[in-house]
Amino acid sequence: MTEKEKAKAGYLYNANYDSEIVNEIEKCTDLCYEYNQIKPSDEENKNRLLKQIIGNLGENAKVTAPFWCDFGYNLYIGDFFYSNHNLVITDGAKVEIGDHVFIAPNVCITTAEHAIDAEQRNAGLEVAKPIKIGNNVWIGAGTVILGGAEIGDNSVIGAGSVVKKDIPPNVIAVGVPCRPIRQITEEDKKRYPQYPKDNI
């Protein structure tokens, strides 16, 4: 079994010294570096490179530089996605992101979990756990989402949270560790003032 096959099956795998994995990460991070050097207004070249980096990229996806990921082909991003500056995704396992997801600055989404045993860790072993983010989710600034977590549709994750367990749909969740604090209701439409003609 190859190291990539071990990773996909959920076993400890060699993420640091296996030549196939090292070469794939190098190729992807070179593309991310190139993406991060593109002039912000150059949408054509940004879209061209994003399609090379990301395994499945939906329509009208916007990724603000700088952006980094490890493999790219494990990323599945839906339509009308937006991420602000400094999104980092370590995608040793599959990362699924739904439609209409907003990600604030300085967010880290990491499937990687290093071995707790020092000997295993020093040998370069880690495990990769998939992450799933539903539709219409808003991730606040400085949030960390850890491997194995799933965030339900329509939920809001407060700034600075650490998501290590599943978050149900239709809630506001905050904290370290991140926990739901309340349901999202129709009353939330009244939270901010709206210009009368713009009422939604």
List the catalytic residues.
Answer: 114
* SS3 per residue for 69-82: ECCCCCEEECCCCE
DSSP 116: S
Sign of the C-alpha dihedral, residues 86, 83, 147, 174? positive
Sign of the C-alpha dihedral, residues 27, 29, 30, 35? positive
Distance of CA 58 to CAs 55, 68, 106, Å?
10, 18, 22
What the block records as the tokens of 176 is: 């370290």
Which distant-in-sequence residues (6+ apart) come within 8 Å of 155 by Cβ?
134, 137, 138, 167, 168, 169, 170, 171, 172, 173, 180, 184
**Nearest by Cα to 88 from 15, 145, 31, 150:** 145
Helix, strand, or coil (residue 47): helix
